């Protein structure tokens, strides 16, 4: 049904064996201990979360909580903590005596390991909703990573007669899944125009108009990933606004993959989330990238179209059912400390972007690159072949043929540095992806640089 996911197969092969990863899309991660050290959820976020949770918790959560309360009352101290609808917090008097780390750790230790609520723990959904303007916890559906949310959304929304317009190159599932489900998928290309990556926003109107079908056809779906993987491109607020106008005119749903949002190099460039500004907009996000917490596998959809969330939730019953309880607990902690965690990762990306700029300047005969405007990835390319290629015939062939796949293979074999060839995005073979989010970038880049110099390049 689906073609193999080239990028994920490539990482499955190399991610845990290559010594120097220079193409990851996630930001620097941390241990559970480090996350606990960061502390309990910021007071305001945690209060807002529990208020919203207690006000709007679903009937199921209420039932669980009251069942738990009566169970505690009858079984007294000897029983294990019951299933909490919201994560337990230490009593205030005790709280003053213990460090934030101990509090968080104790709270994690008390996490009930039964099933969790299918739509996500109420406190977590409330904390996620608080990341957006004017959103409510009922507008949020938690998933196991962004990838599950992508699959479930398409399964819920896309049938054989669906029209799906996807900006390309893209993270493969954004295109592959609707295609595999039998939709008519139309690519909407981002192009390299000298100094910048450009998405032709005017083209969208034509694409939607040309493919218009009968009055009973389902609403077309436009899939847009901004900030963009793999280019690091970001459209302007005006372009975003015009895309929304076009979608509104055509009654299209705009499914925005915003997993790199919050990683803008200049915060003035940050776009609003689509769920904030478009009534038919669905925002997709995840803790893997900006927060660097991919191992938690916590992602979500946020939209004011609750009817769509209902449909996606019905699919989730056939998939993960619910998220992992410890992950939800840790996710709540991370979201309560978003500025600290994401701010740290933005700083890492900015330092690495400066290093990559120096590197590409020093090797401008060999590479072209457009610095990313946002996100933790960028998409440089091999340029015209330089005069000398260190006497290695394979390397000469890679450079002469602008073959980033062969080039990456040689680099990996000789240094352990891993790049991601653009062919895994079904894109021009001269391009390759680099990652800017890891603390190891300076070392990996220095090895890459020394290798090039050793080859006389």
- Least Å distance between CB 335 and ligand PLP? 15
Query: Is there binding between residue 185 and ligand PLP (CB under 6 A)?
Result: no
Binding window for ligand PLP (CB under 6 A); candidates: 33-41, 110-118, 140-148, 399-407: 140-148
Nearer to ligand PLP, 170 or 366 (CB): 170
CA angle 235, 146, 21 (to 5 degrees): 80
Convert residues 206-225 into a mask of x (bound to ligand PLP by CB under 6 A) and - (unbound): -------------------x
Nearer to ligand PLP, 4 or 92 (CB): 4
- Least Å distance between CB 424 and ligand PLP? 12
Residue among 122, 145, 169, 178 that touches ligand PLP (CB under 6 A):
145
Residue among 294, 334, 430, 436 that touches ligand PLP (CB under 6 A):
294
Nearer to ligand PLP, 294 or 301 (CB): 294
Report the 3 state secondary structure along the chain.
Answer: CCCCCHHHHHHHHHCCCCCEECCCCCCCCCCHHHHHHHCCCCHHHHHHHHHHHHHHCCHHHHHHHHHHHHHHHHHHHHCCCCCCCCCCCCCHHHHHHCCHHHHHHHHHHCCCCCCCCCCCCHHHHHHHHCCCCCCCHHHEEEECHHHHHHHHHHHHHCCCCCEEEEEECCCCHHHHHHHHCCCEEEEEEEEEECCEEEECHHHHHHHHHHCCCCCCCCCCEEEEECCCCCCCCCCCHHHHHHHHHHHHHHCCEEEEECCCCCCECCHHHCCCCHHHHCCCEEEEEECCCCCCCHHHCCEEEEECCHHHHHHHHHHHCCCCCCCCHHHHHHHHHHHHCHHHHHHHHHHHHHHHHHHHHHHHHHCCCCEECCCCCECCEECCEECCCCCCCCCCHHHHHHHHCCCHHHHHHHHHHHHCEECEEHHHHCCCCCEEEEECCCCCHHHHHHHHHHHHHHCCC
Query: How many chain residues bind ligand PLP (CB under 6 A)?
Result: 13
Nearer to ligand PLP, 250 or 289 (CB): 289
Residue among 146, 199, 221, 430 that touches ligand PLP (CB under 6 A):
146
Residue among 229, 337, 408, 444 that touches ligand PLP (CB under 6 A):
229
- Least Å distance between CB 298 and ligand PLP? 9
Nearest residue to the partner ligand PLP, using Cβ: 145
Residues linked to residue 188 through DSSP beta bridges, in sequence order: 167
Residues linked to residue 432 through DSSP beta bridges, in sequence order: 421
Residues linked to residue 368 through DSSP beta bridges, in sequence order: 381
Nearer to ligand PLP, 89 or 274 (CB): 274
Nearer to ligand PLP, 208 or 298 (CB): 298
Give, as ranges, the residues between 257 and 286 that touch ligand PLP (CB under 6 A). Answer: 257, 259, 286
Binding window for ligand PLP (CB under 6 A); candidates: 99-107, 141-149, 200-208, 209-217: 141-149
Nearer to ligand PLP, 86 or 349 (CB): 349
Nearer to ligand PLP, 178 or 299 (CB): 299
- Least Å distance between CB 341 and ligand PLP? 15
- Least Å distance between CB 228 and ligand PLP? 8
Convert residues 19-58 into a mask of x (bound to ligand PLP by CB under 6 A) and - (unbound): ------x---------------------------------
Residues that bind ligand PLP (CB under 6 A): 25, 145-147, 171, 225, 229, 257, 259, 286, 288, 294, 299
């Amino acid at each position: 049904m689906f073609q193999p996911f080239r990028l994920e197969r490539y990482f499955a092969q190399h991610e845990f064996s290559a010594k120097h990863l220079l193409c990851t899309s996630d930001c620097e991660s941390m241990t559970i201990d480090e996350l606990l050290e960061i502390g309990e959820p910021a007071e305001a976020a945690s209060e807002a979360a529990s208020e919203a949770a207690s006000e709007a918790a679903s009937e199921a959560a209420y039932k669980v909580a009251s069942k738990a309360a009566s169970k505690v009352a009858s079984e007294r101290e000897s029983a294990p903590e019951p299933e909490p609808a919201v994560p337990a917090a230490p009593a205030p008097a005790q709280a003053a005596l213990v460090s934030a780390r101990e509090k968080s750790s104790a709270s994690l230790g008390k996490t009930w390991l039964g099933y969790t609520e299918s739509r996500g723990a109420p406190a977590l959904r409330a904390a996620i909703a608080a990341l957006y303007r004017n959103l409510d916890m009922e507008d949020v559906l938690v998933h196991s990573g962004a990838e599950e949310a992508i699959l479930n959304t398409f399964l819920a929304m896309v049938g054989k007669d669906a029209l799906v317009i996807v900006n390309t190159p893209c993270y493969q599932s954004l295109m592959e899944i609707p295609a595999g489900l039998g939709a008519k998928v139309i690519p909407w290309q981002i192009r390299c125009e000298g100094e910048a990556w450009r998405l032709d926003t005017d083209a969208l109107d034509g694409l939607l108009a040309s493919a218009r079908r009968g009055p009973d056809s389902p609403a077309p779906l436009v899939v847009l990933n901004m900030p963009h993987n793999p280019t690091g491109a970001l459209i302007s607020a005006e372009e975003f606004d015009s895309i929304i106008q076009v979608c509104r005119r055509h009654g299209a749903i705009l499914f925005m993959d915003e997993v790199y949002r919050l990683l803008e190099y200049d915060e003035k460039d940050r776009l609003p989330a689509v769920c904030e500004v478009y009534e038919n907009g669905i925002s997709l996000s995840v803790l893997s990238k900006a927060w660097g917490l991919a191992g938690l596998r916590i992602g979500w959809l946020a939209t004011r179209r609750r009817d769509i969330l209902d449909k996606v939730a019905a699919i989730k019953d056939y998939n993960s059912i619910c998220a992992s309880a410890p992950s939800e607990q840790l996710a709540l902690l991370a979201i309560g400390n978003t500025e600290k965690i994401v701010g740290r990762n933005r700083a890492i990306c900015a330092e690495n972007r400066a290093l990559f700029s120096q590197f590409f300047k020093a090797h401008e005969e060999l590479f072209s690159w457009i610095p990313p405007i946002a996100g933790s990835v960028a998409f440089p390319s091999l340029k015209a072949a330089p005069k000398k290629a260190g006497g290695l015939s394979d390397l000469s062939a890679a450079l002469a043929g602008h073959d980033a796949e062969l080039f990456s293979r040689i680099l990996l074999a000789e240094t352990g540095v891993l790049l991601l060839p653009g062919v895994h995005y079904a894109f021009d073979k001269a391009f390759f992806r680099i990652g800017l989010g890891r603390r190891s970038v300076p070392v990996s880049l220095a090895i890459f640089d020394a290798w090039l110099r050793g080859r006389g390049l």
